[in-house]
Amino acid sequence: MNQSMNTSLNGDQLANDIWAMLGATSAVADNTTVAAPDNQTNAVKQSEMSNIPDLATEILSKLEQKKETAAAHLGISAAEVETMPFDLTALEQAGIFLNIDATGFSVLSRQLDWQSLGIELPKEQAVHLSPPRTGLLPDNYRKPLQRAASRAHNALDRYSFRFALCETVLGSSEYRWIPFTAFEAFEKEFAAALETLARAKTSVIENYDEILETLRGTFRQLATDSADRLAATVKDEPFDRDEFINTTVARAMQMVPPVAVIRDGMRIKMRPKVILLGSEMRAEQTRAAKLELETQTTNRAQTEIAIEIEAQKEIAEIKVKTAFEDEKREQELKERIRQIKIEAVKREMEASISPLKEGLDQLNSTIYEAAKEMAEKLNDSKFVPGGTAKRAREMYRWFKLMNFTGDAEVETVLAELNKIASRDAKTRTAAEMKEAVDAVIVATSKRARKLLKTEQLDALEL
């Protein structure tokens, strides 16, 4: 089917079409038409003009600009330039561009050369003569295959439309436009063509050996006739008739398509095509640019947020570090104050305890020295002198008065010494007195070592 398109629309008709597509209810009269008959008509037209959609006005304005541009290039007036509406979007929404691709059918025939036909053409001929073509399958097998491809193409021609302008725009005449309303009927015809092809291919494959024998006999008969004609043409040159026949038959049989080519190579495909309009590409470019801008804006915002988070993190770390250092300095200051207080208390305690320690040391030293003197006097004595016994009793009374620390060990040995010294001179012996004095010496020595160790521990603690 061929579809013609009106290319000479006037301004009123085009405006009405545009407003109808945009949903408007009124049209604009041509600016160059006759004036209104009365004021009421002018008022109505002015009211209608005010209701024109902005988009329709913009389209008409662009149309006038295109006409003026074309007129300037052609050197004519804008009024001489006609308007041709062309809306591919309407075609795309109501139908589909389609092509039938029949591949592999060229193997069913082949062009022969004149020599194979036994014809020797003159070397300097004035007219070019093309050799004939021959089918490579018997007609009862070849024609059903070709008929399937023809049926598919005929179905496309029957249900499709051909737009010359679309062919110019698309740059190809292969694609035809089928409305969606006719596609179901076309699809049935196309399926029938595929079934025809399948049956024809099955028939060829099942009878392939018989086909080869038929072709071989046909080619041999043709080669024999050609050999007779060639022998009559080239009488003066040597010619091997049998070799020519065998060679011609072999070459012809090599041109016969094999089973694999017939089964897999012959196909009929339906190739639909959709149109990517320039406006859609520009819209897509606009969307892509907008998306890119949004992506950049989002990335920039994310970067700013990341920077802000990092800054807040650094500020928080600085605050924590500062607080830790402040707390550390505060703890160090408190520790220094505590140590100062401890040292002050120690000094006060040492100031109060030192006289007591000196007294204890002196008491322990005095008792120790006195005990050593008594021990020396008792070494060679057979009795206890009265002065020694008296000194022992006084030493016990003195220690008992001064023993405010409660040293039980020294007091016990001194009490034992006092007990022996207090007995009657006749009943006490120098040996037991010496033993008691030695016990006092041992106890005071231990006490002296204990006091020395206490002073060392105090020094280490300080």
Q: Coil, strand, or helix at residue 268?
A: strand
Same domain, 47 and 178: no
Q: What is the pLDDT of residue 60?
A: 79
Residues 101 and 65 in one domain: no
What are the C-alpha distances in Å from 186 to residues 144, 180, 260, 267?
A: 20, 10, 30, 18
Residue 95's pLDDT is what? 85
297 and 159 within one domain: no
Query: For residue 89, what pLDDT is reported?
Result: 72
Please identify, among 245, 275, 305, the residue that sits at the C-terminal boundary of a domain. 275
Same structural domain, 333 and 444: yes
The whole-angstrom separation of Cα 249 and Cα 223 is 7
- Name the nearest CA neighbour of 175 among 106, 107, 93, 92: 92
Quick: pLDDT tens for 405-461. Answer: 666 777 777 777 677 667 766 667 767 777 777 777 777 777 766 665 555 455 445
Residue 169 pLDDT level (bands cut at 50, 70, 90): low
For residue 220, pLDDT over 90 is answered with: no
Query: Which has the closest alpha carbon to 149: 245, 270, 305, 57?
Result: 270
**Count: domains in the chain:** 3
pLDDT of residue 2: 47
Reported confidence tier of residue 32, pLDDT bands at 50, 70, 90? very low
60 and 187 both lie in a single domain: no
pLDDT value at position 199? 92
User: Exposure string (b/e) for 201-217, b if CB count within 10 Å is 16 or more?
Assistant: beebeeeeeebeeebee
Spatial distance between the Cα atoms of 400 and 415, rounded to a whole number of angstroms: 9
Confidence category of residue 221, pLDDT binned at 50, 70, 90: confident
Token reading at 368? 């120790």
Q: Is 194 domain-assigned? A: yes
- Residue 326 corresponds to which tokens in the numbers above? 């402040």
Structure tokens at 233: 């043409």
103: in domain: yes
Strand partners, 98: 176, 272
Residues 6+ apart with CB under 8 A from 191: none
Please check whether residues 381 and 300 belong to one and the same domain: yes
Quick one: average pLDDT of 326-349? 84
Q: Are 136 and 255 in contact (CB under 8 A)?
A: yes
Backbone dihedral angles phi then psi of residue 97, each to the nearest 5 degrees: -85, 135
Cα gap 445→367, rounded to integer Å: 10
Q: 323 is written with which tokens?
A: 């607080």
Establish if 125 belongs to a structural domain: no
The pLDDT mean for the chain works out to: 74
**Residue 219: pLDDT over 50:** yes
- Residue pair 49/21 in contact (Cβ under 8 Å)? The answer is no
Print the domain residue range for 185: 88-119+130-275
The per-residue pLDDT for range 110-157, each reduced to its tens digit, is 776 655 555 555 566 655 566 667 778 888 888 898 899 999 999 988
Long-range contacts: 138-143, Cβ < 8 Å, 24+? 138/211, 138/214, 138/215, 141/200, 141/203, 141/204, 141/207, 141/211, 142/108, 142/109
Q: Please tell me whether residues 352 and 422 are part of one structural domain.
A: yes
Query: Same domain for 254 and 292?
Result: no
Q: Is residue 2 part of a domain?
A: no
Which of 254, 275, 296 terminates a domain? The answer is 275
pLDDT band at 198 (very low <50, low <70, confident <90, very high): very high
What letter does residue 257 receive in the DSSP assignment? P
Give a yes or no: residue 6 inside a domain: no
pLDDT attached to residue 272: 87
Whether residue 76 is found in the same domain as residue 105: no
SS3 state at 109: strand
Q: Which of 247, 275, 303 is the last residue before a domain boundary?
A: 275
Highest mean pLDDT among 45-49, 95-99, 396-400: 95-99
Could you report the per-residue pLDDT of 265-283, keeping only the tens digit for each? 889 998 887 776 666 667 7
List CB contacts of 452: < 8 A, sequence separation 6 or more.
Answer: none
Are 294 and 438 within one domain?
A: yes
Q: Same domain, yes or no, for 57 and 104?
A: no
Q: Which residues contact 405 (CB under 8 A, 6 or more apart)?
A: 360
pLDDT the model gives residue 305: 93
Same domain, 75 and 96: no
pLDDT, position 460 = 45
The verdict on residue 124 lying in a domain is: no
Distance CA 249, CA 219 (A): 6
In a domain, 396, yes or no: yes
- Whether the pLDDT of residue 192 is over 90: the answer is yes
Predicted pLDDT at 188: 93
> What does the block give as tokens for 373?
């003197």
Residue 184 — very low, low, confident or very high, per pLDDT cuts 50/70/90? very high
Higher pLDDT: 239 or 203? It is 203
Closest CA to 6 of 165, 176, 159: 165
CA distances from 63 to 35, 52, 82 (A): 24, 16, 11
Q: Is residue 134 part of a domain?
A: yes
More confident residue, 428 or 70: 70
